Structure 1
Amino acid sequence: MTVVIPMRNEARGIAACLESVLANRLPGDAAWELLVLDGDSSDGSAAIVDAMAERDPRVRRIANPKRLQAPAFNLGLAAARGRYLVRLDAHSVYDPDYLAESVRLLEETGAGNVGGVQRATGTNWFARAVAAAVSSRFAAGDAAYRNATTAQWTDTVYLGAWRTETLRALGGMREDWAVNEDYEMNVRLRATGARIYLSPTIRSTYFVRSSLPKLVRQYLRYGYWKVRTLVKHPGSLRWRQLVAPAFVISLLLTPLTVGRFGPLGAAHLALYLAANLAASAATAAQAGWQYFPVLPLIFLTIHCSWGSGFLFGCLVWPFRRHD
């Protein structure tokens, strides 16, 4: 097996990430390698990886001069010596049976890609509130990789594990995708007839963004690049992807609707506020009431950022020349 981890300036978390991966064992103590694709880190991340590589020969650092995720993945794929390839994220830590479960389910299900549910957490109070929010259906819609409790066939998973030959036949990730590159590759994978399997037994913990500006930037990029994928693969559209843009449009139209219908023209705002507060209360009841004061703002930020990014993408991607 080959494990691929793209990395750029992850000094705060890369040691814990790698230690959790290296604690994994494959059936029969099968051999495996861990490739860290370093996107020109400047915060000491490379030195941390190199120190771990000196202690464990499974670890190898490879330079990724293009810095982005897709080129990193493709560099790892080109260097891979394993029969299977598992993509991991430097923002996460992994259960000790993560790799073994991935291999087992690839073989038992015959899937083209298997992955697990993203369990979110945070390093401070705000980040833990974000983690609770992104795990809610009010933020994630019907995205199974956020909140599924049972194994199922799905359209995408968090991270993923594949047979290496499958990825090479597919051509790896599209390097002209800066975001949403994993979903785009999964669309192409499903077009070949392969299926994607999600199982809650493939367990990892993801550390979410720790501040409001970082959250805004993340979801603006998600929405913007989702349109790039939809322009290329219009059949991949899901209803959940239209809800946030529709909400942003309704906000922009509020002055017109209020001018035409008076207070009734703002009814959609009252409905959203009620839904937001109800979702915030339900989320706080599970995660802790100390997060309730900020949850409405987090939900609003996610919806407006993703929706605004999507709408801006609609003004850009359909008119750009690309293959």
Structure 2
Amino acid sequence: MFDINSQNKISIIIPVYNEEKTISKTLESLLNNDYKAIEIIVVDGMSTDNTKKILEEYVSKYPTKIKILQNPKKHTPAGLNIGIQNASGKYIMIASGHATYSENYISACVEAIESNLCDVAGGLMETLPRAHNPKAIAIAEVLKHPFGVGGAKYRTGAQKNEYVDTVAYGIYKKEIFEKVGLFDERLIRNQDIEFNIRLKDAGYRIMLVPQAKVYYFARDTFKGLWQNNFSNGFWVTHSRKYVKKAYKLRHLIPLFFVIYLLILAVTLSILVIPTFFKLLGLVPLSLYLAMVTIFSASVSTKHNDNSIFFYTLTSFLILHISYGTGSLVGLVKKAE
């Protein structure tokens, strides 16, 4: 077992903007972790709600543990870089203001790094509803379903330590940022994907540690789901305007789906195309809708609530189409 002392101090960077509903839960879970050699650096992106007031209350209560920095640029990568540049720990943890962490989260991840198993470690993410209603539950279920989020192991689960391409809320050796560089501030979203590609290319190892768990509070409205995933999809492709490696092939699947839908719509509207070919073009969409129906029914059965079925089906559609549409717009903007 490694020695938890000041030499192994970890700096926890939390970029926030209007997190009054969840920031207290986040801070409490970090303060109650079994790893005590920590400093918490909250970088506020000029919040307009009560986030700053809540943070100041915590600073007055824990003046040696928590400090607040301001991020006038507001965007997440800028906030992360401000925190990293002001960190004094041996390790850097990237945290979220709308998530909580298991009591062993930090110690389990740091132990993996100290044991020389990896250079970056992060835990499994369990997505939770932000509100207790069928819509919020459905959105949370979709955001942790393999059909919803693809092959992201930190979302879908693992039974043992496993090397991966990326983790959520990872703990990094500070030297990585000194050698690889900081987050690219031109990438308003998905800066973590590009950064992890960069560090893997430099030979660093990323490990998923399933004993450590993070509990993420999902958005609870269809509007919020659409906006968040449209933005994620947009920055996946638009990032190529600034960097060569910004995503993996799996990140483009929703884009291919939306392009297929557009081609299908055009094809069905052209009268000269034989009916057979039109019906043939509907086969992939039929298979997709069948899978969405089956998975939505499964979620509904799991919660023993029929109303969840329709919310889940809608959430799947919004998730895939918003992400793919965002990626398509990102390509168009990149070309301008």
Scaled by the length of structure 2, the TM-score of the pair is 0.89
Aligned to 2:45: 39
Question: Which residue does the alignment assign to 2:248?
Answer: 237
2:125 alignment partner AA: Q
2: CA distance, partners of 1:87 / 1:53: 19
- TM-fit CA distance, 1:252: 1.2
Q: For residue 320 of structure 2, what is the aligned residue in structure 1?
A: 303
Indicate the residue corresponding to 1:22 in structure 2. 31
CA contact (8 A) 2:194 2:245 kept: no
What is the distance in 1 between the residues matched to 2:203 and 2:286? 45
- 1:82 and 2:82 equivalent? no
Alignment-derived partner of residue 21 in structure 2: 12
Task: Give 2:55's match in structure 1, choosing from 39, 49, 57.
Answer: 49
Letter of the 1:213 partner, please give it.
Answer: K
The residue matched to 2:200 in structure 1 has which SS? helix
The SS at the match of 2:170 is strand
> More displaced, 166-175 or 214-223?
166-175
Assess if the C-alpha contact under 8 Å between 1:77 and 1:168 holds in 2.
no
Q: CA separation in 2, counterparts of 1:107 and 1:288?
A: 44
Whole-angstrom distance in 2 between the partners of 1:202 and 1:281: 30
Q: Report how many residues are paired.
A: 315
- Residue pair 2:109, 2:209 contacting (<8 A) in 1 also: no
- Partners of 1:165 and 1:304 in 2: CA distance: 39
| Residue ranges of structure 1 left out of the alignment (5+ in a row) | none
Aligned CA distance change for structure 1 residues 230 and 283 (closer, same or farther; 3 Å): farther
Shift in CA distance, 235/63, structure 1 to aligned 2, threshold 3 Å:
closer
Does the CA contact (< 8 Å) of 1:89 and 1:159 recur in 2? yes
Aligned-pair identity in percent equals: 29
CA distance in 2, matches of 1:235, 1:225: 9
Which whole-Å CA distance do the structure 2 matches of 1:117 and 1:288 have between them?
Answer: 26
**1:281 counterpart (297, 300, 317):** 297
- The residue aligned with 1:68 is 75
- CA drift at 1:282: 2.8
Contact kept, 8 Å, 1:2 with 1:86, in 2: the verdict is yes
Structure 2: which amino acid aligns with 1:16?
K
1:91-130 aligned at under 5 Å gives the runs: 91-124=98-131, 125=133, 126-130=135-139
Residues 166-181 of structure 1: pairs in structure 2 closer than 5 A: 166-181=176-191
Corresponding residue SS for 2:72: coil
Against the structure 1 CA distance between its residues 255 and 80, is the aligned structure 2 distance closer, same or farther, given a 3 Å change threshold?
closer
What is the identity, as a one-letter code, of the residue corresponding to 2:21? Answer: R
Provide the rounded CA distance (Å) in 1 between the counterparts of 2:152 and 2:191: 17
Q: Which of the numbers 284, 287, 310 marks the counterpart of 1:271?
A: 287
TM-score, normalized by length of structure 1?
A: 0.92
Distance in 2, matches of 1:311 and 1:15, equals 37
Question: Partner residue of 1:188?
Answer: 198
Q: In the aligned structure 1, how far is the partner of 2:288 from the partner of 2:321?
A: 12
Distance 2:205 2:122 in 1: 12
Partner of 1:249: 259
- How far is 1:287 from its partner? 4.6
Q: Which moved more, 1:264-273 or 1:121-130?
A: 264-273
